[in-house]
Amino acid sequence: MSGVEKTRHLLLVFPHPDDESFGKAGTVLLFTKAGTPATLICGTLGELGRNMGNPPFANRETLPKIRKKELEDACKALGVGDLRLLGLRDKTVEFEDPEYVADRIEEVIREVNPSIIMTYYPKYGVHPDHDALSHATVLAVKRLPKEERPVVWGSVVVRNAEEVVGKPDFVIDVSSVFEEKMAAMKAHKSQYQGLFARMEEQMASSPEARAEVIASLSTERYWVVPIED
């Protein structure tokens, strides 16, 4: 599937700066380039992240401010014009009252009236913050009348995704926005350098290796999250 079309509003709900870009930037770009307004709810500033740049240019005190600026830059690159920060603490979202977090998300849902919500697929986001915020998102959507509920697109992070969840409902060809996708990812400089250094080395090693990496990054997969009452 490559023909992403304009929809009423796209809402992204993710716990950390870079979650909206790594693995999802191409799809977001296709929506915003089609004229879809987009809002991002970011739960934390990723202040407990281990990556400080390579070579390091951040420390534990400066990292939150740096990651906030990186997030703002990524939003500009993605065409996301509305950023909402929940102000939760990194790596502790699972300990928040899920109903309270759902209250915060519900407020935004009712305000922007999205047709699609992108988040992680609950229980398969690997990181506890991923699962906790996606669970709260589902709780918020369940509060809406069935006829008013947006479709929830979930990202599955586990390696055996199709074995545990089944085949994805959407496989998006993002090759047309590949360079812009990479720009959005690289906006998160403190994280990108540490996480993707090996990929960059592989791309530089040969034209064949570069083509292989580009092919792997040119599709993005999503599963529709069931909303069960």
| Domain residue ranges of the chain, discontinuous segments joined by + | 10-224
Contact 29, 177 (CB under 8 A): yes
Mean pLDDT on 175-192 = 96
d(CA 79, CA 83): 11
Contact 158, 166 (CB under 8 A): no
End-to-end, the C-alpha distance of the chain in Å comes to: 30
Instruction: Kindly compute the dihedral angle of the four CA atoms of residues 30, 31, 36, 42, in this order, to the nearest 10 degrees.
Output: -120
Of 103-107, 167-171, 204-208, the poorest mean pLDDT is in 204-208
Quote the crossing angle between the two packed helices 63-78 and 25-33, to the nearest 10°. 40
The CATH code for residues 10-224 is: 3.40.50.10320
d(CA 97, CA 213): 40
Residue 170 reports pLDDT greater than 70: yes
Instruction: Kindly compute the dihedral angle of the four CA atoms of residues 174, 176, 180, 184, in this order, to the nearest 10 degrees.
Output: 0
8-63 confidence digits (pLDDT tens): 999 999 999 999 999 999 999 999 999 999 999 999 999 998 888 887 888 999 99
The pTM of the full predicted model, rounded to 2 decimals, is 0.95
Tokens representing residue 20 in the block: 């909206």
Residue whose token pair is 């990292």: 63
Quote the crossing angle between the two packed helices 63-78 and 189-205, to the nearest 10°. 60
> What percentage of residues in the chain have a pLDDT greater than 70?
99
